[in-house]
Amino acid sequence: MTTVDSLLMETLAVITRESPEFDESFGMADRLLALIGETPDLAARVYAAIPADYPWRPIADLLGIFIWSTSDNGTAITSTTEEWLLDGSDPRRVLIALHLDVYPFRSAAKMVEVLSRIALTMPEAAAECRRLIATRRGIE
């Protein structure tokens, strides 16, 4: 296991232990980000480096921390995760994308369109899709 892989897994373990009250997790995520670097494919690279059977929630939490830690304010991460939602075929990626503490898509109409489709085709994501749609409508 490389240094990046071991730090990634250690960071996910700390996030799992601390969630939802993060303290040490932010420092670990910053160290990891400094080691792997900010790239347009950051979310995809992180996702690919994690075993397929690893729970989705800590991955979403890590990407959520990265959104607030990257110099582009998470633009690259949200772009990648919006692609995951548009594709809509991988439940794990969809659940990660739905739990980043940011609304997907700049356009509320696009978000409603995509999340409504996901809610119909992916029961495990339906409640979160409905919640995001309702709360976004409540702020506009």
pLDDT, tens only, 56-82: 999 999 999 999 999 999 999 999 999
Mapping DSSP to helix (H, G, I), strand (E, B) and coil, where does residue 104 land?
coil
Report how far residue 115's alpha carbon sits from residue 113's, in angstroms, rounded to the nearest whole number.
6
Tokens, residue 19: 């969630």
Helices (H) and strands (E) in the chain — how many of each? 8, 0
Structure confidence at residue 140 (pLDDT): 53
For the chain, the structural domain boundaries read: 3-139
- Please state the pTM of the whole predicted model: 0.92
Q: Per-residue confidence at 21, pLDDT binned at 50, 70, 90?
A: confident
